[in-house]
């Protein structure tokens, strides 16, 4: 915080991902690590700024979730669960701060070309560079959006997946490639 009050913008963008399988005892710690970073990391990032922003009546808290939070995908239960939790946490925080002058923005990226995605053994439709994501992220915040999926094409895919009946979803995705587990 500056001597003139809280920052105008705080971004929580921590995220890790590894393949996880509940049947493997060693993946329990991986699951815990993913939830700790992806969910509690966001809470810990925002915590010191909420009260000062509320008192000042201004500011934006922007959290990066993922379209992976729309459905649970095979082999990445911890990541999907963490991003679903992040989406709901941000939604709740937005309601908590409604009318305070503090805006909460949820940004759900699709696939971004990063070291985290380079080992994915499956197709990543509409993948964009980190720089392109950053530009689109900034535009979404500048436009005052409280929820954005980047790139926009993934919003269509994610919404379709969210309403796809379980039988069709399961048949289509149960045999998809798996993210490598942490070794």
Residues identified as active-site: 79
Are 79 and 65 contacting, i.e. CB atoms less than 8 angstroms apart? no
């Amino acid at each position: 915080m500056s001597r003139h009050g809280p920052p105008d913008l705080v971004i929580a963008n921590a995220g890790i991902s590894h393949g996880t399988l509940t049947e493997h005892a060693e993946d329990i710690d991986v699951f815990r690590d993913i939830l700790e970073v992806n969910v509690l990391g966001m809470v810990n990032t925002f915590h010191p700024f909420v009260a000062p922003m509320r008192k000042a009546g201004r500011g934006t808290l922007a959290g990066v979730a993922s379209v992976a939070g729309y459905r649970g995908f095979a082999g990445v239960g911890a990541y999907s669960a963490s991003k679903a939790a992040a989406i709901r946490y941000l939604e709740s925080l937005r309601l908590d701060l409604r009318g305070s002058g503090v805006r909460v923005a949820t940004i759900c990226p699709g696939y971004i070309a990063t070291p985290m995605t380079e080992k994915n053994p499956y197709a990543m439709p509409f993948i964009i560079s980190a720089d392109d994501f950053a530009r689109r992220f900034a535009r979404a915040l500048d436009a005052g959006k409280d929820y954005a999926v980047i790139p926009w094409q993934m919003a269509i895919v994610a919404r379709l997946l969210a309403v796809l009946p379980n039988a069709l979803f399961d048949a289509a995705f149960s045999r998809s490639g798996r993210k490598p587990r942490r070794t």
